[in-house]
Chain A
Amino acid sequence: MNTKIKTLLEQGQVAGFFAYKRIHGVWYPYLFTKSELDQLEPWQPFKSRYPIAKLLLAKARQNPDQTFGVLVRGCEERALREIFKWNQLDPNRVVMVGQACTEDLAQTCECAKPFPDQLNYGSAPAGVGRQRRVAELEAKADGERMQWWLSHFNRCIRCYGCRDVCPVCFCTICSLEQSDVAPTGKLPPDTSFHLVRAVHMAGRCVDCGLCEEVCPAGIPLRALYKKVNSLVADLFDYRTGADDGRSPFTFLGDESRLPAGLR
């Protein structure tokens, strides 16, 4: 971290750089400025993960005229691209430096692409293709699947941790706090709470898995979001986090897939 990042800060290309600092042996996200260059340690792989894209977004919203740098993993690069596509952040005001994840982190995360395209540190491990839980769930009968989901949903304590940690939950007013969508004063919240969030994750979730990691109730949220995203990819031909010039604001998908002839 202490070469490339140092140069960016020294040359004044960025006002601050979101990287990591070791405190008592644990890596924490930290916003480095020019005056703290000596505190940058050499890069080494580590497993701690944080919603760093979200920290950057919050800072950038307060300082719209400044450019910030950020050290990103594969999922974080995808998250930032989504944030760019949804016009929440100006891509010209962000400098990304990429780090690869370790092989075992990629396995733990079941990550399909555990490295950013912009790779500066580390070497890219192989992606993990399997989606164990989605496949398991699809094999169940419909009624059984509902019981399975309810047996998880009813542990929800409505802490909003899944939303708060989510790098692509950038809304300033959240639907999940509207009593029409998810009636308040109810614990566990209705299934609509989770389904509405699932709808919002469609075409946005970058499959970083932080929601599932923070959920104090251990609800397998990721399977739900993986599913909605694969639906969006099939129906609208939209792949989240891809740098392919497609915008979620345009009409998406193949029009010729509509049923032919009179209906």
Chain B
Amino acid sequence: MANSFEPKILAFLCNWCSYAGADLAGVSRLQYPPNIRVIRVMCSGTVSPHHLIHAFQKGADGVLVAGCHIGDCHYLKGNYMTLKRITFVEELLRFAGYDPARLHLEWISAAEGIKFAETVRAFTAEIRSMGPAPTFEATPRLALSA
């Protein structure tokens, strides 16, 4: 039964490092689970909390954000913002009662194809063990049972 759950994972990868890292994983023929859907963004710092909330609302079980290492950002300080913003969204999710572990931030450079594959493997396994994400739909029935 547990095997029937295939997590849907959305990945925001920055154009300059992490997307190239994913590319490297691909050309190196590294195996990783096919559960991720990749969205390429110019910088991990452009991923707004709206995107993350929207992803969960649309039924993502996990969201991965990956960008250049600190100090390597193509735009110098974009990923400083990423780090703070992701921390913010994690804490907001936690306060709303959702498990912040469903949101994951990782720094993956263009040379780290192996790290990319490993990250996706580990994150997919983690989400798989957590099960489907709770829905964002508020049903009136909950009010009666609560």
Q: Does B49 contact A (CB under 8 A)?
A: yes
Interface of A is mostly: helix
From residue 187 to 221 of chain A, which have CB atoms closer than 8 A to chain B?
A: 188-192, 194-196, 198-199, 202
Alpha-carbon distance between A191 and B80 when the two chains are bound, in angstroms: 28
| One of B6-14, B25-33, B94-102, B119-127 contacting the partner | B94-102
| Inter-subunit contact B53/A143 (CB<8 Å) | no
| Inter-subunit contact A228/B92 (CB<8 Å) | yes
Alpha-carbon distance between A174 and B97 when the two chains are bound, in angstroms: 26
Q: Does B81 contact A (CB under 8 A)?
A: yes
Q: Chain B residues with Cβ under 8 A from A236's Cβ?
A: 84
Pick from A155, A190, A235: contact of B137, CB under 8 Å:
A190
Known contacts: A175-B50, A258-B83. The answer to whether A195 contacts B96 by CB under 8 A is: yes
| One of B15-23, B34-42, B138-146 contacting the partner | B138-146
Closest Cβ of chain B: how far from A199's Cβ, in Å?
4
Most chain B CB within 10 A, of A181, A186, A189, A195, is at: A195
Known contacts: A146-B98, A224-B95, A259-B70. The answer to whether A151 contacts B143 by CB under 8 A is: yes
From residue 33 to 81 of chain A, which have CB atoms closer than 8 A to chain B?
A: none
From residue 115 to 137 of chain B, which have CB atoms closer than 8 A to chain A?
A: 134, 136-137
Alpha-carbon distance between A191 and B77 when the two chains are bound, in angstroms: 32
Q: Chain A residues with Cβ under 8 A from B77's Cβ?
A: 251, 255
Pick from B84, B138, B143: contact of A191, CB under 8 Å:
B138
Pick from A142, A147, A190: contact of B94, CB under 8 Å:
A142
Chain A residue with the shortest CB-CB distance to B56: A192
Known contacts: A192-B57, A199-B92, A202-B88. The answer to whether A148 contacts B97 by CB under 8 A is: yes
Q: What is the size category of the interface that chain B forms with chain A? A: 20 to 34
Pick from A149, A156, A258: contact of B80, CB under 8 Å:
A258
Pick from A147, A155, A190, A231: contact of B136, CB under 8 Å:
A190
Alpha-carbon distance between A142 and B101 when the two chains are bound, in angstroms: 12
| Inter-subunit contact A231/B140 (CB<8 Å) | no
From residue 106 to 162 of chain A, which have CB atoms closer than 8 A to chain B?
A: 137-138, 142-151, 153-156
Q: Mark A225-263, 1 if CB is under 8 A from B, else 0.
A: 001100110011000000000000001010100110011
Alpha-carbon distance between A182 and B88 when the two chains are bound, in angstroms: 20
Known contacts: A190-B57, A235-B84, A263-B107. The answer to whether A227 contacts B92 by CB under 8 A is: yes
Pick from A149, A251, A258: contact of B96, CB under 8 Å:
A149
Q: Chain A residues with Cβ under 8 A from B96's Cβ?
A: 145-146, 149, 191, 194-195, 198, 224
Q: Chain B residues with Cβ under 8 A from A145's Cβ?
A: 95-97
Q: Chain B residues with Cβ under 8 A from A189's Cβ?
A: 138
Q: Does A180 contact B (CB under 8 A)?
A: yes
From residue 21 to 80 of chain B, which have CB atoms closer than 8 A to chain A?
A: 49-50, 53-54, 56-57, 69-70, 77, 80
| Inter-subunit contact A227/B95 (CB<8 Å) | yes
Chain A residue with the shortest CB-CB distance to B79: A258
Alpha-carbon distance between A255 and B80 when the two chains are bound, in angstroms: 8
Q: Chain B residues with Cβ under 8 A from A186's Cβ?
A: 137
Q: Chain B residues with Cβ under 8 A from A232's Cβ?
A: 88
Chain B residues proximal to chain A, CB less than 8 Å: 49-50, 53-54, 56-57, 69-70, 77, 80-81, 83-84, 87-89, 91-92, 94-99, 107, 134, 136-140, 142-143, 146
- Residue pairs across A and B with Cβ atoms less than 8 A apart, 7 shown, are A146-B97, A188-B139, A195-B96, A199-B49, A231-B87, A235-B84, A258-B80
